[in-house]
A and B are shown apart, each in its own frame.
Chain A
Amino acid sequence: AQSVTQPDIHITVSEGASLELRCNYSYGATPYLFWYVQSPGQGLQLLLKYFSGDTLVQGIKGFEAEFKRSQSSFNLRKPSVHWSDAAEYFCAVGAMYTGNQFYFGTGTSLTVIP
């Protein structure tokens, strides 16, 4: 069965520090991978996506993610966190054979300390 795991429910980092949010997936084939961010009271905003090609993808707001097939992971990184990055982050996966629907992880809540 398909599954997405975000092991960290909550992460706290200091402003200016680096950030890595973990995402692991279970799929039978190479999935399509996404990271979304949700601010309080807002919908989801796409940060970046991976379909194929270069395994290191760049997104908006200075985020990047690396697809590692051997580890079934798609971790999100940012070298220097800003206070405005405080939000909920969701990893999502999908594949054509699942009927083109997304499966989301349970999310990681990020707190940024000044």
Chain B
Amino acid sequence: KAGVTQTPRYLIKTRGQQVTLSCSPISGHRSVSWYQQTPGQGLQFLFEYFSETQRNKGNFPGRFSGRQFSNSRSEMNVSTLELGDSALYLCASSVRPGLAGEQFFGPGTRLTVL
């Protein structure tokens, strides 16, 4: 069974631009969560989606948004990029939402904002 895939793997943007990252969960997994990983802040929860609905959201500004499609694939969007948005963005999928399900992580998308 294929794992969680994230595209693109690397991305370079400039301040003020917007970016869309994609995550394809493991087949049969309907829950997708997003995390931001930076050297200074570590791993921080962004949001979780299940059945196309946002179930939970972390403490990030409104510039960070996401959505989930009917095939469980998810995208996250960051508008008006800032230098501090440079990070590794990780997507995780699970069969069930929340902590009841074991999360499987993708390799991440490395975003660099110049």
**A residues neighboring B (CB under 8 Å):** 32, 36, 41-46, 49, 51, 90, 92, 94-96, 99-107
Contact = CB atoms under 8 A, between A and B. Distances in A.
B64 interface: no
8 contacts: A43-B90, A43-B105, A43-B107, A90-B43, A99-B55, A100-B98, A102-B99, A103-B45
Interface residues of B, number: 24
B56 A44 contact: no
* Max chain A C-beta neighbours (<10 A), residue from B56, B92, B99, B104: B99
Contacts of B44: 104
Given A43-B4, A44-B90, A96 B99 contact: yes
Contact of B45 (A45, A51, A96, A102): A102
